[in-house]
Structure 1
Amino acid sequence: MNAGAPRTARAAAVTAVGDAGGESADAAQAMLVTLWNAAMAAGGLVGGLLLDTFGSTSFPWTVLLLLLPVTAVVLYARGAGFPARRVSWSR
């Protein structure tokens, strides 16, 4: 497993949010970091509840269930976050 993958994904997300945010890029990046941290906390909480309630066999089914809407969002939003060419924002 590549230990650098989460850092690379986070860097790509920050870049995409910064590009899409335009002049409000700082606020958009702050919101991204806050949501990232909240998602980590929620994942730990939900994972613990799933493990305690249904056991470890519930994890693959939960991931599959979550993968469907995430894939739809990625396909819908990929043009906004990663445009074909970089836009230069001048202040």
Structure 2
Amino acid sequence: MAAAVLALLSDSPAVVYAAVTLWGLGWGGAPTLLQTAAGDAGGESADAAQAILVTLWNVAMAGGGIVGGILFDLAGSRSFPWTVLLLLIPALAVLVAARSHGFPARLTARTS
């Protein structure tokens, strides 16, 4: 939602501040959730799964900086939210496909 607001309504500073705040609130818990999902999906190999996650996270941050710099040089900062919206498509597909492994529904026992 924040990327769409930034893509469509970035002329107003107040809207940009609100979108960036929304982005930060939405993104803030992602590392913890991803660590939990990797541990749950890894089962007995949870340590290896989390090590792979940390490695891929760092590669993604470095790659994002490189691609972002190239994108900024070629198309300017207004291209960032549109690029994020395009990248969300495969990310959402992975999220839906991995839902049952990383975040399985848990049945809780009721206590009286």
Length-normalised TM-score, structure 2 = 0.69
Number of aligned residue pairs: give it: 86
- AA at the equivalent of 1:27: A
**Pair 1:75-2:108 in alignment:** no
SS in 2 for 1:83: coil
Q: Which runs of structure 2 are paired with 1:16-31 in the superposition (5 Å)? A: 16-31=37-52
Runs (4+) of structure 1 exceeding 3 A deviation are: 2-7
Q: CA deviation at 1:54?
A: 1.2
The 1-side partners of 2:72 and 2:41 are apart by 37
* Deviation sequence 1:23-67 (CA, Å, 0-9, x none): 111011000000001100011110000001111122122112111
| Structure 2 unaligned residues grouped into runs of 5+ | 1-20, 108-112
Quote the residue 1:46 is aligned against: 67
User: Which gives a bigger RCO, structure 1 or 2 (Cα 8 Å, sep 6+)?
Assistant: 1
- AA at the equivalent of 1:23: E
Query: Percent of aligned positions with the same letter in both sequences?
Result: 63
Decide which structure has the larger Cα Rg and report it. Answer: 2
Length-normalised TM-score, structure 1 = 0.83
Q: CA deviation at 1:4?
A: 6.5
SS in 2 for 1:21: helix
- AA at the equivalent of 2:67: V
Quote the residue 1:89 is aligned against: none
Q: 1:37 aligns with which of 47, 53, 58?
A: 58
SS in 1 for 2:77: coil
**Pair 1:62-2:83 in alignment:** yes
Aligned in 2, Cα 1:56/1:7: closer, same or farther, shift over 3 Å?
Answer: closer
